[in-house]
Amino acid sequence: MDKFLSQFNGDIHTKEALIEFFHQFIDSEALKKVYAGEDTAPMKEAREIIDNGFEYLKDLYAVPTKQKENTNEAR
């Protein structure tokens, strides 16, 4: 599972599309609740939980970046 999550975390376009999907879904559910006169506070919390989950994923399965080798530029 770790390998899959690392690959997913490295696929920026898919990850951003999934986050956007969740945001749009929560927004549409919140709008339904607004029109029904229901409490929408849980929607904000759900959105924050999803965002925090993706931040945790980013931290836990960070994609290593290639670092430029140190060169002596004084020459």
Q: Is residue 45 part of a domain?
A: yes
Q: Is residue 40 part of a domain?
A: yes
Q: Which residue, among 3, 4, 7, 18, has the nearest Cα to 54 in the 3D structure?
A: 18
Question: What is the tens place of the pLDDT at every residue in 15-67?
Answer: 999 999 999 999 999 999 999 999 999 999 999 999 999 999 999 988 766 66
Q: Is residue 25 part of a domain?
A: yes
Name which residue leads in pLDDT, 34 or 2: 34
Range of the domain at 55: 2-60
pLDDT at 11 over 90: yes
pLDDT at 14 over 80: yes
Q: pLDDT-based confidence at 2, cuts 50/70/90?
A: confident
Q: Is residue 68 part of a domain?
A: no
The one-character DSSP state at 1 is -
Q: What is the pLDDT of residue 40?
A: 93
Q: Is residue 72 part of a domain?
A: no
Q: Is residue 73 part of a domain?
A: no
Interatomic CA distance for residues 31 and 23, integer angstroms? 12
Q: Which residue, among 71, 57, 53, has the nearest Cα to 12 in the 3D structure?
A: 57
Q: Is residue 74 part of a domain?
A: no
Query: Domain count of the chain?
Result: 1
Q: Is residue 12 part of a domain?
A: yes
Q: Which residue, among 66, 27, 3, has the nearest Cα to 11 in the 3D structure?
A: 3
